[in-house]
Amino acid sequence: MLVLQRPVWRRVMTDPVLTDAQWKVLEPLLPILGGTRRGRPYCQSHRTTLEAILWIAQAGTSWRFLPREYGKWKSVHRRFRRWVNAKIFERIFETMASMLDLDIIMVDGTFIKVHQSAAGARREGRSRAASREQQAIGRSKGGLNTLLVALVDKNGRFIRYALQPGNSSEHRNVTSLIGDLPANEFLGDGLYDSDKLRFYLTTRGIKPTIPPRKNRKAKLEFDRHSYMGRHTIENVFADLKQFRGIATRYCKLADSFRGYLDLVMWVIGTRETRRSASPYHRDLSPLPV
């Protein structure tokens, strides 16, 4: 009989380890060990659990292959789901609000390939299409996908984001993402060039820096120098997809995937060294003619 053994994973320099500064922020947001929770008490620290979740997000592998140093995979996964239901990861993500610079915001979307194992969530009486819609999964020409639309500040920190089925439009949640943000300028690529969105931004007192579509009858001017800073969101998406569990979605449930996103986005935004390299960090005076 063939017996499959758990592979031995060795720590490398890229292993997801929280810094002491990051843990100092996260610790008050987590349940108290040995507190009022019923049942068997936790046998490992919350910090180890968070690092285990980050390891799964980075490796993009099954929970069963979690290294033993992080504890039993069932216990870690059970705690992860409990924290998702308690919206702890949402609270972690919201702690970045005090770090944001909302003077200039930028938007973009990226497609996330959905693995075949993530397409089997319980329908609970719904049709297959309705079930996939609820879990932010849609079929496009490239197969099953999830569309991530996000707002980022000029320093490369995530402000808000939305998960949509892969066959939906990026415009679907843009205005709701902007909401009541006190921004002065909005950066988006030509995909967001619509009269409706421009009118919405203008009435809010937000300058739209969006290149016009090629098929526009009346050409519109935009601040090309300011638009150079939009590469920041491209860099942040590239950093986000260094985590294999996010570059490819393996979670059946959208709320579990949001739990990964909330934690990973927070880790990226609170790193001591981040790849933002935005021209907004330099002098933005007009270029000489």
* Residue 47 domain-assigned (yes or no): no
- Tens of pLDDT along the chain (289 residues) come to 444 444 444 443 345 689 999 999 999 999 887 655 565 655 678 999 999 999 999 999 999 999 999 999 999 999 999 999 999 999 999 999 999 999 999 999 999 999 988 887 776 667 877 888 888 898 888 899 999 999 999 999 999 999 999 888 888 889 999 999 999 999 999 999 999 999 999 999 999 999 998 888 888 888 999 999 999 999 999 999 999 999 999 999 999 999 999 999 999 999 876 555 455 544 333 333 3
* Residue 210 domain-assigned (yes or no): yes
* Residue 30 domain-assigned (yes or no): no
How far apart (Å, rounded) are the C-alpha atoms in residues 101 and 103? 6
Q: Token pair of 31, please?
A: 């349940």
* Residue 113 domain-assigned (yes or no): yes
Q: What is the pTM of this model?
A: 0.85
What single string gives the DSSP state of each residue in 51-101?
HHHHHHHHHT--GGG--GGG--HHHHHHHHHHHHHTTHHHHHHHGGGGG--
- Residue 119: which residues within 8 A CB-CB, separation 6 or more? 132, 137, 144, 252
Terminus-to-terminus CA distance in the chain, angstroms? 77
Domain hosting 243: range is 100-251
The number of domains in the chain is 1
* Residue 63 domain-assigned (yes or no): no
How far apart (Å, rounded) are the C-alpha atoms in residues 278 and 273? 13
Q: Which CATH number belongs to the domain containing residue 151 in this structure? A: 3.30.420
